[in-house]
Amino acid sequence: MKFPPEGLKYKQMKPEDFFNKPATPSKSEKIKILANDGLAKAGVEQLENAGFEVISTKVAQEQLAEYINSKNIRVLLVRSATPVDKKLIDSCKNLKLIGRGGVGLDNIAVEYAESKGIKVINTPQAASGSVAELVFAHLFSGVRKLFDANRNMPLEGESRFKELKKSYSAGIELRGKTLGIIGFGRIGREVAKIALGLGMKVIASDKEVGEVKITLEFYNHQSIEIPIKTEPVEELIKHSDFITLHVPAQTKPLIGKKELDAMKPGVGIINTARGGVIDEVALLEAIEEGKVSFSGLDTFEAEPRPAIKLLMNEKLSLSPHIGASTLEAQERIGLELAQQIISHFKK
Q: Active-site residue numbers?
A: 274, 303, 321
CB contact at 8 A, 329 and 126: yes
Cα 290 from Cα 281, distance rounded (Å): 14
| CA 129/CA 327 separation, integer angstroms | 12
Please calculate the CA angle 15-20-21 and round it to the nearest 5 degrees.
Answer: 95
In the chain, alpha helices (H): 41-49, 61-70, 86-91, 110-115, 128-143, 146-156, 161-167, 186-197, 233-239, 257-262, 280-289, 308-312, 327-346
User: Nearest 5 degrees, angle CA 94-CA 324-CA 251?
Assistant: 70
DSSP string, 90-125: HH-TT--EEEESSS--TTB-HHHHHHTT-EEEE-TT
